[in-house]
Amino acid sequence: MAQEQTGGTGTGHRSVSMTRVAKGRYAVTNERGGTIAIGGGDSEDFTPVELLLTAIAGCSAVDVDFITSKRAEPTSFDVLAEGDKVSDENGNHMTGIEVTFTVRFPDGEGGDKARDMLPRAIGMSHDRLCTVSRTVQLGTPIVMRDR
């Protein structure tokens, strides 16, 4: 049964398609026609692990930005996502993933309100809003198959 496809922040089915362009290099296309390149780490293309970190940081950044910018536009907004890739009895996986926000707001009442809201916005993203980090934290099963 086909589910409604959405490209925004609402609920609904999401998909991307990936095509091999060379050994270890792939073109990914979303349902809106956007494309990115993925590689194995021997080119400037993002690796899948870097995209995981990007997705976690990006998802929370959108949440935090939408919440805080209602009070004031930031004068700077930077996010760092990092962690360690390990291989152990559980196979390859990431540990110690941290997302650090460095956000500045202008002086004044609006900036003060945005600064006050920033920690709460980060918490809201972490605890319930960010689909990507929530999915990782909840440990959603993934099915892989061939056709």
For residues 21 and 71, state if they share a domain: no
Whether 131 is in a domain gets the answer: yes
Burial of 105 (0-12, 13-18, 19+ CB in 10 A): buried
Q: Express each pLDDT in 44-99 by its tens digit.
A: 999 999 999 999 999 999 999 999 999 999 999 999 999 999 999 999 999 999 99
Which of 117, 111, 57 minimizes the C-alpha distance to 81? Answer: 57
CA separation, residue 4 to residues 1, 13, 60, 85 (Å): 10, 6, 24, 35
Whether 144 is in a domain gets the answer: no
For residues 34 and 77, state if they share a domain: no
Whether 143 is in a domain gets the answer: no
Whether 6 is in a domain gets the answer: no
For residues 39 and 52, state if they share a domain: no
For residues 128 and 63, state if they share a domain: yes
Which of 81, 69, 78, 79 minimizes the C-alpha distance to 115? Answer: 69
Q: Express each pLDDT in 102-134 by its tens digit.
A: 999 999 999 999 999 999 999 999 999 999 999
Q: How confident is the model at residue 9 (pLDDT cuts 50, 70, 90)?
A: confident
Tell the residue number behind the tokens 């209602």, with chain if given: 70
Q: Are strands 25-30 and 16-22 parallel, antiparallel or unpaired?
A: antiparallel
Please report the pLDDT score of residue 50 as a whole number: 97
| Number of separate domains in the chain | 2
pTM, two decimals, is 0.90
Q: How confident is the model at residue 1 (pLDDT cuts 50, 70, 90)?
A: very low
Name the residue range of residue 22's domain.
16-43
For residues 110 and 88, state if they share a domain: yes
Residue 66 belongs to domain with CATH number: 3.30.300.20
Please report the pLDDT score of residue 4 as a whole number: 59
Whether 9 is in a domain gets the answer: no
For residues 134 and 63, state if they share a domain: yes
4 vs 117: which has the higher pLDDT: 117
Tokens of 82: 């990092």
Whether 29 is in a domain gets the answer: yes
